Amino acid sequence: MLIRSNLSIVTICVRQQSSRFLVSSDIFAHPSPMQISIQRIDPTLPLPEYESAGAVGFDLVTRVTTKIEPGAIVLVPGNVIVKVPEGYALLILPRSSLPRKKGLVCPHSIGVIDCDYHGPKDEIMVQVQNITQKAVTVQRGERIAQGIFVKTEKAQWEEVEDHGAVTRGGFGSTGEA
């Protein structure tokens, strides 16, 4: 029996030998990385990097020192224009330490970079909000966010009058008695 997924990293081969099964797997094999076109606005700053062998997200750095006043929402320039492959999206997520270390949150929680967002003025920007009572400064070259590529599919809508399901109770209703 041979099972192959549509992911290039998963291939499981099983063959029977007497009454036992031998299993070989390349689940832990590292596929060759995706080749992504990237343009740095300031070439003196580093390209985005994966900080560990197990990291799924790469870090984006701030292109210019940016001061964020209390309560303000600002766009911090991420220094790169990325050509996302068709069939993928690039998700821009806050670094987990951002609220604790800087008092900054991403008010929309996640940014989505589409495959057609890579023109000359399409620098990745990170939207942050200062939730502290004092001004916060993000220094040029400081890691501000992380990016993750995800495979996407487009939906074709089939409108119906009723899904025929029993309601769960609406938004926020799980766990209510």
Query: 11-46: per-residue pLDDT in tens?
Result: 333 333 444 444 444 445 556 788 999 999 999 999
Amino acid at site 139: Q
Which of the listed CATH numbers 3.30.1330.10, 2.70.40.10, 3.40.50.300, 1.10.150.110 matches domain 37-151? Answer: 2.70.40.10
**Nearest Cα to Cα of residue 152 among 67, 88, 90:** 88
CB 62 within 8 A of CB 139: yes
Query: 46-105: per-residue pLDDT in tens?
Result: 999 999 999 999 999 999 999 999 999 999 999 999 999 999 999 999 998 999 999 999
Q: Quick check: helix, strand or coil at residue 146?
A: strand
Position with higher pLDDT, 119 vs 14: 119
Q: Tell me what the mean pLDDT of segment 165-176 comes to.
A: 74
Query: What is the sign of the dihedral through the CA atoms of 148, 150, 156 and 158?
Result: negative
For position 29, what pLDDT does the model report?
52
Q: How sure is the predictor about 176, in pLDDT bands with cuts at 50, 70 and 90?
A: low
Domain ranges, ordered by start, for the chain:
1-31, 37-151
**Nearest Cα to Cα of residue 103 among 71, 127, 126:** 71
Residue whose structure tokens are 């690039």: 90
Q: Cα–Cα distance between 93 and 96 in angstroms, integer?
A: 9
For position 19, what pLDDT does the model report?
41
- Look up the pTM and report it: 0.75
